[in-house]
């Protein structure tokens, strides 16, 4: 009986840790993606790329622990952030900003 309780407690702890990690990464991803949009609107491609890449790290980390539609949204956000960073490096500010906006929308959906 003690083994079952210990195993159950361990499983619950792991699950709650994964959920907490996903929430933290989702929040950080949203903050950086919003900052990327703001930098794009200010015509600062360097700032846009910096924040898009930071947001990308967090969406990828969140996607590792999420499931279902939340995972799909984080993966879609990752793709949008990659495009935002690529276009930002090419100084295509308007296109990069559009991708960053799309990423924000996906992250918001993934965080629900």
> How many whole angstroms separate alpha carbon 100 and alpha carbon 103?
5
Q: Specify the 3-state DSSP secondary structure of 22.
A: helix
Count of structural domains within the chain: 1
pLDDT one-digit tens code per residue, 31-48:
999 999 999 999 999 999
In contact, 72 and 15? CB cutoff 8 Å: no
The secondary structure of the chain in percent helix, strand, coil, rounded to multiples of 5, reads 90, 0, 10
In contact, 61 and 83? CB cutoff 8 Å: no
pLDDT one-digit tens code per residue, 71-92:
999 999 999 999 999 999 999 9
Q: Categorize the per-residue pLDDT at 112 as very low, low, confident or very high, splitting at 50, 70 and 90.
A: confident
- Comparing 47 with 13, the larger pLDDT belongs to 47
pLDDT one-digit tens code per residue, 17-34:
455 566 898 999 999 999
CATH number of the domain residue 81 falls in = 1.20.120.660
* pLDDT above 50: residue 10: no
67: containing domain: 2-110
pLDDT recorded at residue 6: 60
**Those residues with Cβ within 8 angstroms of residue 41's Cβ, 6 or more apart along the chain or in another chain:** 97
**Those residues with Cβ within 8 angstroms of residue 22's Cβ, 6 or more apart along the chain or in another chain:** 62, 65, 66, 70
How far, CA to CA in Å, does 44 sit from each of 23, 48, 110? Answer: 29, 6, 27
């Amino acid at each position: 009986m003690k083994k079952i309780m210990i195993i159950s407690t361990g499983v619950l702890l792991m699950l709650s840790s994964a959920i907490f990690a996903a929430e933290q990464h989702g929040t950080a991803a949203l903050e950086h993606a919003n900052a990327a949009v703001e930098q794009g609107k200010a015509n600062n491609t360097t700032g846009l790329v910096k924040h898009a890449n930071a947001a990308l790290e967090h969406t990828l980390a969140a996607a590792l622990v999420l499931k279902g539609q939340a995972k799909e949204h984080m993966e879609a956000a990752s793709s949008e952030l990659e495009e935002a960073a690529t276009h930002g490096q090419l100084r295509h500010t308007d296109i990069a900003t559009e991708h960053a906006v799309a990423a924000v929308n996906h992250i918001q959906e993934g965080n629900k």
